[in-house]
Structure 1
């Protein structure tokens, strides 16, 4: 993609307004907290202190809107405390430009590194730097600086208390994540009716898994419908795929296929019903037609073997979903434990240390942002406009570790500032509002920002810019600047951010083949772990496997098959690698560079092949011996040889991809070709192995069609 087209596409994405469900009650609660803190400080301590308290409450409210599964009061307290520390240090050093510039550079660098911990921490840290730039212009002494920091922290405390006292949609984020996962599986079931080998995006399931992690205290307060439903949903996906796939199920056409389509349609209806019930906290009422379709007694005549077992298991799993959605029971009494913030500190430090290496996108972002903010501060101070913090404030707010977000947010910030500052300045010039009127208008602007924050950065920037103008106007600041001056400083900050990325980039495109290799390695390990379980379903020498052993047939529950830990961990690693590949591909789509290894078409073809390989491994796992035998376990010794060869072949293929060569699967072909019906008596396993090899061959074919490639065996 050329630079001109990249700029056009990123600008379009930055100005895009997304249709999102607005949450006026949450926005009103956040604005009420801001008004309470701001008004009290204005009456008791005067405009200067009030401005500091308003920034604290504003930033804490923004933290509660972040996509995080931690309790909202904790996010508000964390934001208020870190902002108080940042502004206190800024107040103390603000009178000495050299000392403040050194602090600003260091603080921005640390904020850039904090993206290694996660986007929520990165956004809070970047906002702290931006607000520190604004509040340091307020005159104060060291003693008063401590007071300003205290009222900033009080703003965070006030927002946290309001969340506790006036909860809105308690557990709402967790409900939405679980409902999205169920709805995604409902859509998957319906797509399988038309395309029996349709792909499934595991991102909603991974989001639901992250949302399911709770502390022991939260586990005791969690609603009943959030217990166990995700675990059942995880087991439904492979059952749906195995029921629909012709290779391990029924033929493409005929009465059996019609019955499968009926079951898939009913499953979609039930899953949609459960998703609606979980999202809104209501009882699940399954439509009578769907319930009747799942219990039609002619399955025995139309379905037999693996398809019949899959149909019975699907019915049992859907019963569990409906029961847990009604809050009538729980399919899983355990929970994933979430660590507290203090215990996460060593984990965060390790994540940051892991990014202190050449070529790290996070390290490059930290260097870029610190250099740009320092340069923007010096230029803004040198220019005769006054209040030069608008330039570095814009830069730190728009800069992100990837190209598309940085450029898109820069354009959105400029346009939003033009509208917001223009409107705010027009109101000031026309009405000349006093401190209290300016404070009221600032609160209204904050409410508008909270309301539209998730619809797009351009819309939010309009209200943020107006909020800053009116807020500083409350303290007698910033009235002397004109609209062109503010817009020019904003343009300067955005241009510095864009120029820094062009000079010192962290392109994702040249690293795509490494992401692809990571995904292949994860898929290969997952498939090999599944094959190992065929060869040795329950290892008596492994004490950790005792809870996962197959139970006697008279006590077996088809809705709760045992899931060995090694297979589960390999599956999760495969999903993580697939999501990382997808995110990298999306970032690379907007970059003005080309890969000499993977063209866009090659990358898409390779991604489809690996997705198919992962799907086939999942199908094989769905028919593990302990899941389907009624009288003991029947190991498949031939699976061990295939698993061993698959591991070595995958490792060699990963090296080949990283070295810009095409992988060679001849060793796998030899093993699968030697399999006879007597040696590999399991038809599902043999058919799955053939499909898996076909997917890997498709990967090799896609890579062979790429630019500058040769066979792995070539010299």
Structure 2
């Protein structure tokens, strides 16, 4: 992509206003906390202290709106406290330029590294640095600086107290995450009716898992509907795929396929009803037609073997997840008596593995998170080629240069330059440039509107404070619709807030516009001079995904040789690692698509085809996981050799991908062509369960090899490109 096109696309992204669900109650609560803080400080300490407290309360409320599963009061307290510490330390050094610059560089560098701990931590740290350069100019003595720091902590305390006293949709984010996962599976079931190999986006399941992690205090208060339903949702996903896939025994057309489509439609209906009940905290209402379709005895006469077991497991899992969802309301969904269910439930399902983990996923407390964050920051600081470390170096250099330029220019209020730069800069190119455009355009609009309002309404401390609260409320309401709207509200808020502190709008408007533009230009120039492009790292991301998929497939195959039933935590861990690697690959591709960098070693078509091949590899392993044998099943000895070979081959293949070579799979092919995989003693029928396990292994092993071969073809420049391009571009959303 050329620089011109990249700038055009990022500019459009920055100015875009998206349609999002607005949350007026949350916005009103944040604005109320800000108003209380300003009013108390105006009454007791005066306008300047009120302005400082307003920054603390404003930032604390913004922190609670971030996409984080941590308790909201903790976020508000952490934001207000860290801003207070930053401001106090900044005031102690502001009278000595060299000392303040050293502190600014150090503080900004640490804030840049804090992105290693997650976007919420990174945003809070960056905002603290940006606001510090403003708030250090408000006090006039060390004692006043301490008072101002205390008011910032007070602003965070007020916001935290309001969250506790005025809860809005308590556990709402966690409910939404779990409901979204179930709704995604319902949509997946409907698509499987038409396309048995339809893709599935695992992101909702990943989000639901992140939302399910709770602190010990949260674990005691969590609603009953959020206990266990996520684990059941994880088990439903592979069963749906196994039921629909023709490789597992159901013909592409005929009475069996019609029955499978009926079961999938009923499953989608039940999942939607369950998702709706969890989202709203209401009793589960199951449509009788869907329940009847899942309980009909016709299934046993039409399906047998692996499809029959999948159908039985699906009915039982859907019943269980509906009952879990209904437990909060104290009722039971009308599913019928367990003894009358049809088809009869099979032995306990080996899927999967949440039951082997603790009763809840552990989230560290705020204090326990500190050493974990420090460890992540230290690792990024020492990692060669780390994008986070490059971002830290870049943003700290820009902050220092911007502060010096702002101080040297005869405009006054030079802190606008580093403030704009720090708030704009992010570790990746697209977000940095889109935020730069959004901030400048939003600043123009916000300053123009605020100026017009002040000219029409006049000046005054109370009026300016009220207008600042109104601007903040509008920002809280619109902040998820895009950067442009949020930046416009922030610009108006700062103008009103400084007006409350005694500054006339004529002193702030021209310089704010000019210096904000200068800060944005510095941020954009810094990324162009010292970038952290994702494009050259695409091969490494693809190799990581290949290695993770290989470990997952090998773990599944091994349990056909060593049946353990439900006790397969290694499969679960391998699956989660494969999902994380897949998510990292897709995030890297999304960032690379907007970068003005030529493709280096991995053309777009090759990347799409390689992604498709790894998707099919994961799907083959998924089908095997859906039919993991019970603990007392007859082992399949040949599967152990295949598991070892598969793991070793994919690790070597990952190294080849990183080095720009084409991986080979001769070792896997030799295993599948060896006498152990012929019609000999290794594949004798044995009992019925063992016979089905052998059939599954033999079928899916060929699918694994085919997927690996397709990967090599995608990465081989000597293989001509297929006329129709990538086989299935949408398959990037598969598990």
Cα deviation for residue 683 of structure 1 reads 1.0
Contact conserved, 2:402 with 2:522, CA < 8 A, in 1? Answer: yes
In the alignment, is residue 348 of structure 1 matched against residue 404 of structure 2?
Answer: no
- 1:126-165 residue pairs with structure 2 within 5 A? 126-165=126-165
Encode CA deviations 1:494-532: one digit per residue, 9 max, x unaligned.
111111000000000000000000000000001111111
Encode CA deviations 1:123-142: one digit per residue, 9 max, x unaligned.
00000011101111214201
- 1:5-20 residue pairs with structure 2 within 5 A? 5-20=5-20
In the alignment, is residue 334 of structure 1 matched against residue 359 of structure 2?
Answer: yes
Q: What TM-score do the two structures reach when normalised by structure 1?
A: 0.93
Q: What is the distance in 1 between the residues matched to 2:199 and 2:220?
A: 37
Aligned CA distance change for structure 1 residues 669 and 329 (closer, same or farther; 3 Å): farther
Q: What is the distance in 2 between the residues matched to 1:174 and 1:244?
A: 30
Tell me which of 593, 610, 614 is aligned to 1:610.
Answer: 614
Contact conserved, 1:10 with 1:408, CA < 8 A, in 2? Answer: yes
In the alignment, is residue 583 of structure 1 matched against residue 608 of structure 2?
Answer: no
Contact conserved, 2:283 with 2:331, CA < 8 A, in 1? Answer: no
Cα deviation for residue 91 of structure 1 reads 1.7
Aligned CA distance change for structure 1 residues 41 and 160 (closer, same or farther; 3 Å): same
Q: What is the distance in 2 between the residues matched to 1:55 and 1:703?
A: 53
**Alignment match, 1:558:** none
**Alignment match, 1:21:** 21
Cα deviation for residue 419 of structure 1 reads 0.2
User: What SS does the aligned partner of 1:480 have?
Assistant: helix
Encode CA deviations 1:304-348: one digit per residue, 9 max, x unaligned.
110010000000000011101111599978111211122222221
User: What SS does the aligned partner of 1:282 have?
Assistant: coil
Q: What is the distance in 1 between the residues matched to 2:173 and 2:524?
A: 34
Contact conserved, 1:215 with 1:339, CA < 8 A, in 2? Answer: yes
The two structures, once aligned, show a CA RMSD in angstroms of 1.7
**Alignment match, 2:548:** 522
Contact conserved, 2:18 with 2:482, CA < 8 A, in 1? Answer: yes
Q: What is the distance in 2 between the residues matched to 1:623 and 1:708?
A: 37
In the alignment, is residue 694 of structure 1 matched against residue 706 of structure 2?
Answer: yes
- 1:404-419 residue pairs with structure 2 within 5 A? 404-419=430-445
Q: What is the distance in 2 between the residues matched to 1:570 and 1:639?
A: 18
Contact conserved, 1:517 with 1:657, CA < 8 A, in 2? Answer: yes
Contact conserved, 1:91 with 1:142, CA < 8 A, in 2? Answer: yes
**Alignment match, 2:728:** none
- 1:31-46 residue pairs with structure 2 within 5 A? 31-46=31-46
**Alignment match, 1:379:** 405
- 1:268-287 residue pairs with structure 2 within 5 A? 268-287=268-287
- 1:481-520 residue pairs with structure 2 within 5 A? 481=507, 483-520=509-546
- 1:32-431 residue pairs with structure 2 within 5 A? 32-327=32-327, 334-356=359-381, 357-431=383-457
Aligned CA distance change for structure 1 residues 563 and 398 (closer, same or farther; 3 Å): farther
Cα deviation for residue 360 of structure 1 reads 0.6
Count of paired positions: 683
Aligned CA distance change for structure 1 residues 657 and 478 (closer, same or farther; 3 Å): farther
**Alignment match, 2:461:** 435
Cα deviation for residue 478 of structure 1 reads 5.3
Aligned CA distance change for structure 1 residues 563 and 403 (closer, same or farther; 3 Å): farther
Encode CA deviations 1:393-430: one digit per residue, 9 max, x unaligned.
11101110000100011111111111001111222233
Encode CA deviations 1:339-391: one digit per residue, 9 max, x unaligned.
11222222212211211233110000000001111111111111122112222
Aligned CA distance change for structure 1 residues 686 and 329 (closer, same or farther; 3 Å): farther
Encode CA deviations 1:256-295: one digit per residue, 9 max, x unaligned.
1111111111111111111111111111101122112111
Aligned CA distance change for structure 1 residues 655 and 448 (closer, same or farther; 3 Å): same
Tell me which of 629, 632, 650 is aligned to 1:625.
Answer: 629
Cα deviation for residue 242 of structure 1 reads 0.2
Aligned CA distance change for structure 1 residues 708 and 598 (closer, same or farther; 3 Å): farther
**Alignment match, 1:676:** 678
Q: What is the distance in 1 between the residues matched to 2:655 and 2:384?
A: 21
Contact conserved, 1:410 with 1:498, CA < 8 A, in 2? Answer: yes
Q: What is the distance in 1 between the residues matched to 2:132 and 2:193?
A: 56
Q: What is the distance in 2 between the residues matched to 1:48 and 1:654?
A: 59
Contact conserved, 1:598 with 1:706, CA < 8 A, in 2? Answer: no
Q: What TM-score do the two structures reach when normalised by structure 2?
A: 0.91
**Alignment match, 2:687:** none
Contact conserved, 2:535 with 2:600, CA < 8 A, in 1? Answer: no
Contact conserved, 1:425 with 1:482, CA < 8 A, in 2? Answer: no
**Alignment match, 1:639:** 639
Q: What is the distance in 2 between the residues matched to 1:249 and 1:80?
A: 60
Q: What is the distance in 1 between the residues matched to 2:718 and 2:84?
A: 53
Tell me which of 547, 571, 575 is aligned to 1:567.
Answer: 571
User: What SS does the aligned partner of 1:277 have?
Assistant: helix
**Alignment match, 1:453:** 479
Larger mean Cα displacement after TM superposition, 354-363 or 219-228:
354-363
Gaps of 5+ in 1: 539-549, 551-561, 710-715
Q: What is the distance in 1 between the residues matched to 2:297 and 2:72?
A: 49
User: What SS does the aligned partner of 2:630 have?
Assistant: helix
Cα deviation for residue 472 of structure 1 reads 0.7
Cα deviation for residue 249 of structure 1 reads 3.3
Contact conserved, 2:713 with 2:719, CA < 8 A, in 1? Answer: no
Q: What is the distance in 2 between the residues matched to 1:310 and 1:468?
A: 60
Aligned CA distance change for structure 1 residues 441 and 97 (closer, same or farther; 3 Å): same
User: What SS does the aligned partner of 1:626 have?
Assistant: coil
Q: What is the distance in 2 between the residues matched to 1:272 and 1:515?
A: 35
Q: What is the distance in 2 between the residues matched to 1:91 and 1:329?
A: 59
Q: What is the distance in 2 between the residues matched to 1:488 and 1:157?
A: 35
Cα deviation for residue 670 of structure 1 reads 1.4
Contact conserved, 2:413 with 2:511, CA < 8 A, in 1? Answer: no
Contact conserved, 1:597 with 1:706, CA < 8 A, in 2? Answer: no
User: What SS does the aligned partner of 2:507 have?
Assistant: coil
Aligned CA distance change for structure 1 residues 245 and 705 (closer, same or farther; 3 Å): farther
Larger mean Cα displacement after TM superposition, 124-133 or 387-396:
387-396
Q: What is the distance in 2 between the residues matched to 1:284 and 1:594?
A: 53
Larger mean Cα displacement after TM superposition, 319-328 or 170-179:
319-328
Cα deviation for residue 695 of structure 1 reads 0.9
Contact conserved, 2:536 with 2:599, CA < 8 A, in 1? Answer: yes
Aligned CA distance change for structure 1 residues 706 and 266 (closer, same or farther; 3 Å): farther
Cα deviation for residue 97 of structure 1 reads 2.1
Contact conserved, 1:240 with 1:264, CA < 8 A, in 2? Answer: yes
